[in-house]
Structure 1
């Protein structure tokens, strides 16, 4: 029997959106899953208030309270994956606590899982609340690191992980702690692909993305911020693969002032700085 979780990290900064998130999860057409909530920074009284809301849902829920650990953004997400591993889930569908989702998302991901048991992760379309696509095009399959090396289109709000994949071992999860990446989803899926994990696009379902300047991406393009993010990202991955050592060298050789004057936006996150065709 397949064991599925819909997982997220809950945190105070997204409190005003939490009910919308929960309602979106509760409206799923396939309700055979657990809602797994990892508490980042709510205190005990605030968590009791949230639990009252959870009791009105039609889906089962579990809460992992890690608030006392005072972890980084990356650290909380790693704990979420560890918890899912410990609880024996086959498929973990991910979603940010300030976003909402198509009501068929769980159903579509389960079907994709059964058709692609060898696949390490899945991803779906991302749209704004005005129904416009965040990305103009999405590749149907990711089998090599070049697809993710220059930019990112697989986020923690629009993806799922096959916890039974040969890539997602306990050793792999432990190794994620070696890096405190400022963009953890990009680091996570890059690591999976570097370990020969394959990603597959899930058709006909969506994540509705709420973007603001509180997001790492932000609402406006910032080449200098992209440069700093990529420098950390490439430095982390250079420890794992020589391809990233070359990318880091190329990045450090660029003239950031010229890039600021002539951005080359491709439509994906962190895509203004391109070092390869």
Structure 2
């Protein structure tokens, strides 16, 4: 067996377990092992993983004090496992029946793969289909410059080879980082391209606790968007000098907005009228220059 399917569980994620496991049980190719990194679920909560499925399951205790630490610990563990292919899938999502089959085939010639996404509601009905191909159009590869201002690749539709996993195991992050996938992918794309596989998909579920599906326009949430970019870019200053200058610009803008009530009102009005963007992630406020122009600073 050369393929691992990797997921992460945590307290309050139990509601998703059964649907997730059934989605994997429906895979056309079941020649994989599900590796479940457990960050704090108790024995009763994880008992469902001990039932009989048509694929192997291993639970790894991985209790950490942050999402970043949870992921980094997992990468180090995975890099030492006897698998050539690693398919990631978030516990709150589901997957096309051919995801394992297609990814295993594509992995023969690609080292970083991200597949199609469908946005679904909490009852798994599709809200928006083919989000990735709709954005990329004819492009099949993603480079670093394409993810500087927004995130195109999340863990739930990512797959990597053994060689890439060994690189992931060497990445270091500050525990304050919330958007771990964006930082990790950006670091990988400094040296590699990511291939878009359109022949299979992840069903990305819209629910209240999904950090990336930003859906509010009050001041606190808009400032949170700016903070996300500042924190993320702080981890990437070794990747490109652009990040350093953008951090400075965003910090200056944040200070201006906080001190000016009229500017705050204008910001809220602008983003209340804008069409909601669910993909790419973190694209509502694209960059400091765009925001300055919108606020007429």
1:9-88 correspondence runs (5 A): 9-47=8-46, 49-53=47-51, 56-67=52-63, 70-88=64-82
Tell me how far apart the structure 1 counterparts of residues 113 and 181 of structure 2 sit (CA, whole Å): 12
SS in structure 1 opposite 2:207?
coil
TM-score (norm 1): 0.86
State the Cα distance separating 1:174 from its structure 2 match. Answer: 3.1
Q: Which moved more, 1:258-267 or 1:73-82?
A: 258-267
SS in structure 1 opposite 2:29?
coil
Match of 1:232 in 2: 231
TM-score (norm 2): 0.80
Please say if residues 142 and 196 of structure 2, whose CA atoms lie closer than 8 Å, have aligned partners that are also in contact.
no
Q: Does the C-alpha gap of structure 1 residues 186 and 133 become closer, same or farther in structure 2, counting only changes over 3 Å?
A: same
Q: Does the C-alpha gap of structure 1 residues 157 and 141 become closer, same or farther in structure 2, counting only changes over 3 Å?
A: same
**2:97 corresponds to 1:103:** yes
What residue ranges of structure 2 are gaps of 5+ in the alignment?
258-263, 291-297
RMSD: 2.3
SS in structure 1 opposite 2:154?
coil
Match of 2:207 in 1: 212
> Aligned match of 1:272 in 279, 284, 289?
284
Please say if residues 19 and 94 of structure 2, whose CA atoms lie closer than 8 Å, have aligned partners that are also in contact.
yes
Runs of 4+ in 1 over 6 A off after TM superposition: none
Please say if residues 39 and 65 of structure 1, whose CA atoms lie closer than 8 Å, have aligned partners that are also in contact.
yes
Match of 1:261 in 2: 269
Please say if residues 37 and 61 of structure 2, whose CA atoms lie closer than 8 Å, have aligned partners that are also in contact.
yes
Please say if residues 9 and 96 of structure 1, whose CA atoms lie closer than 8 Å, have aligned partners that are also in contact.
yes
Number of aligned pairs? 265
1:86-165 correspondence runs (5 A): 86-116=80-110, 119-128=111-120, 129-131=124-126, 132-133=128-129, 135=131, 136-138=134-136, 140-165=139-164
Please say if residues 224 and 260 of structure 1, whose CA atoms lie closer than 8 Å, have aligned partners that are also in contact.
no
Tell me how far apart the structure 1 counterparts of residues 225 and 34 of structure 2 sit (CA, whole Å): 33
Please say if residues 86 and 162 of structure 2, whose CA atoms lie closer than 8 Å, have aligned partners that are also in contact.
yes
